[in-house]
Amino acid sequence: MMETMTQEAKTNDLKEVVNKLIPDSIGKDIEKACQSTYLLYDVFARKVKMLKKPKFELGKLMECHGEGSSSGKAAVDETGAKVERADGYEPVVQESV
């Protein structure tokens, strides 16, 4: 069982491993691999422990969330426009917050 989990983690990136854990396809692979040795049924991955933290890449994080390009920088330059106010303008003081 450990060999199957290790092999899946080595050959795929984190997003693909999570996508395989959710529908329990890794559990079915373990069930098939161990069928000749021991009768198993209803094999589930209950808890997965990450032993080694992967290198942090902002671009990959943004790709996982669907908000960025592969370079990790903003695709659109978002700059604000200056608001014109009268001379001596002060905002109204609020009595309570």
**Per-residue pLDDT tens over the stretch 12-69:** 888 888 888 888 888 888 888 888 888 888 888 888 888 887 778 888 778 877 765 5
Residue 58 CB partners (closer than 8 Å, separation 6+): 68, 72
Asked whether 37 and 4 are in contact (CB, 8 A), the reply is no
Report d(CA 60, CA 73) in Å as an integer.
Answer: 11
For residue 70, pLDDT beyond 60 = no
Q: Between 11 and 50, where is the model more confident?
A: 11
